[in-house]
A and B are shown apart, each in its own frame.
Chain A
Amino acid sequence: GENVEQHPSTLSVQEGDSAVIKCTYSDSASNYFPWYKQELGKRPQLIIDIRSNVGEKKDQRIAVTLNKTAKHFSLHITETQPEDSAVYFCAASDSGYALNFGKGTSLLVTP
């Protein structure tokens, strides 16, 4: 089955700096890669996703890149703000149904 590794497990940046979270996956058949943000006590919420026919996708301060050859994808957050502090999860899908999640990255943005 699919195995998703996520790094780092914790990340601390100063407000205004950029944050990068990286994930690798094992199944070359995976074709869908979403990112979720989870605030304390809340549900995971989709913030951006990318499909295997695209190498990069942007949405305001958030971007995701995908390298299918290397089987890794990354989340980039620019101009970080304190409200970006949360746990971020990457995921990959190879079955057409189920998502395999990484273990999460706890991002702290300090003012």
Chain B
Amino acid sequence: DAGVIQSPRHEVTEMGQEVTLRCKPISGHNSLFWYRQTMMRGLELLIYFNNNVPIDDSGMPEDRFSAKMPNASFSTLKIQPSEPRDSAVYFCAIGGTSGTLSTDTQYFGPGTRLTVL
């Protein structure tokens, strides 16, 4: 276990509902990444944070998606309103080490499987 907790692990919701995915990384890593994985598109980077600041959100598909990182140990990815095409596995990953801005190994959380009916 790389020390990344994601909740919920599974989410089933109806189209139009708001969905909030949560990520709790262990301390000591200064970068946090949100990925989406589908069979058709593979692993896609949605957004990443460095020292709690969003660095690049160009992968966020639409305005319906938003992400926050209020502190070093918590991040959320929200979809409002949700649509069936948002169904995917959403992974949170951590990387980097305290005090550095260079590339480092990324460790993935267990993921949240989202199904939008």
- A residues neighboring B (CB under 8 Å): 31-32, 34, 36, 42-46, 49, 89, 93, 95-104
Q: Determine the chain A residues whose CB is within 8 A of the CB of B106 once the complex forms.
A: 34, 46, 99
Asked whether B43 lies within 8 Å of A43 as measured between CB atoms, the reply is no
Which A residues lie within 8 Å of B42 (CB)?
Answer: 89, 101-104
**CB of B104, distance to nearest CB on chain A (Å):** 8
Instruction: Say yes or no: A98 contacts B105, CB within 8 Å.
Output: no
> Which residues in B have their C-beta under 8 angstroms from that of A98?
33, 45, 48, 56
Query: CB distance B103 to A32 under 8 Å?
Result: yes
Q: Which of B18-26, B64-72, B80-88, B108-116 contacts A (4 or more CB under 8 A)?
A: B108-116
Q: Chain B interface (Cβ within 8 Å of chain A)?
A: 31, 33, 42-43, 45, 48, 50, 55-56, 91, 95-96, 101-103, 105-111
Q: Tell me how many residue pairs across A and B have CB atoms closer than 8 Å.
A: 50
B43 touches A97 (CB 8 A): no
B50 near A43 with CB under 8 A, answer no
A49 in complex: contacting residue of B43, B105, B110, CB < 8 Å: B105
Q: Which residue of A lies closest to B31 (CB)?
A: A97
B50 touches A97 (CB 8 A): yes
A25 to B56, CA, bound (A): 21
| Most interface-central of A32, A34, A44 (chain B CB within 10 A) | A44
Top 7 A-B pairs, shortest CB-CB distance: A43-B108, A101-B43, A32-B103, A93-B103, A103-B42, A44-B108, A96-B103
